[in-house]
Amino acid sequence: MTSPAVFAAVSAVAPVSVVPAVSEDAAVSAVSAAAAVPYTTFGSLRLGRTAQSLVGRLIRFWDAKDIDKNGELLGITFLLLDEKDSVIHGFIPANRVSHYRSSLVPGSIVRLECFEVARVSHMYKVTEHQFVIRFLPSTRMVGVQVVGPVIKTNRFMVRRIGHLQVLANTNLELPDVVGEIRSVQGSDLENNADTSRILVRLLIEPAVTVYVSLRDDAASSFRGFLKVADRSQSVMLVTSVSPKLFGGNLYLNSTQGTRFFFDTGLPEIAEFVSSIGATAAQGYTYVTQEHLESFPPHVEENVGLAASSSGPAMLGNKMDEECASDTPPGESDAQKKRKSGGSE
């Protein structure tokens, strides 16, 4: 499905408009104002490297690191939302990060061209979409202004207790969850330079409490919230957690993609407050605890690229050939054989 909407470059949106032009690879480029550009919605994307363009709002992004190699940067994972309320995740490999990082502005609307569409891995899914967008050396990202379709500001993959229990210990999804903070346990809780573990007891349904286990960047970020926030801000939405069952209790471990939202205007938070009878103004307690030995260890996991081989590329015109001209590192042997006409 192709939309006839019109897009124009947003000269006022930084830093997209101030990024210097990239020579041959055109990593980030500007477009002339008032240019009519057709694009493909997420539901109509085709596998492979094609001349498809897509438009979406950048809702979140984070560094993907290899914890088995001392946090070596693998790339940047990002989430895009389109006007059909569909979310897809994308990946920028480490060797392309420097070209795009300054242009990743949360909430901005971007148009992507010359990318690869691959199948999502069956593990650690962060969206419900079956595909992932992978950047190539020729990928172009342009900040745009939408005239026509309206794209919402955010969307979440919230799961309730029944679904979380099914997902526990499977590593199939990294869901989002909404709940009311009942207590916070950890050391030096208002020092956001501290990255030691924090346990948050979270009420997610009437009489249903889970433990949110935070460490590293997520623990530091949450301490930053505790440092400045009023404790009456007790209802929060937490993203991309890994559900684990231990000793009959459900633990939601933070990941590299974990973020916190407290805006009572979010539909997901408003719905939770209404359904559980919370007032969004309940205070919670601090439990200062230097060590948390009585709780199971927080085992950090590599969520990696979350993408598998895309299958055959669909090339059919000059633009397709231009988009597919650059072969990214790690191209599969199967793709090489297809190009050479070989078979197994």
Segment among 9-13, 175-179, 206-210, 337-341 with least mean pLDDT? 9-13
Residue with tokens 């939601």: 252
Torsion angle in degrees (nearest 10) through CA of 9, 13, 16, 20 = 90
What pLDDT is recorded for position 279?
54
Q: What is the pLDDT of residues 22-47, one digit of tens each?
A: 333 333 333 332 234 688 899 999 99
Encoding tokens for residue 268?
């997901």
**Under 8 Å between Cβ of 16 and 103:** yes
The residue-averaged pLDDT of 100-125 equals 93
Domain ranges of the chain: 2-153+307-326, 161-279
For the domain spanning 161-279, the CATH number is: 2.40.50.140
Same fold for the pair 2-153+307-326 and 161-279: yes
Q: pLDDT class for 54, splitting at 50, 70, 90?
A: very high
Query: Which secondary structure element, helix H or strand E, spans residue 249, and what is its range?
Result: strand 249-253
For the domain spanning 2-153+307-326, the CATH number is: 2.40.50.140
The residue-averaged pLDDT of 328-336 equals 41
Q: What is the pLDDT of residues 269-290, one digit of tens each?
A: 999 999 887 554 556 676 666 5
Q: What is the pLDDT of residues 300-314, one digit of tens each?
A: 555 544 444 433 333
User: Can you tell me the distance from the alpha carbon of 322 to that of 140, in angstroms, rounded to the nearest whole number?
Assistant: 12
What is the pairing mode between strands 87-93 and 131-147?
Answer: parallel
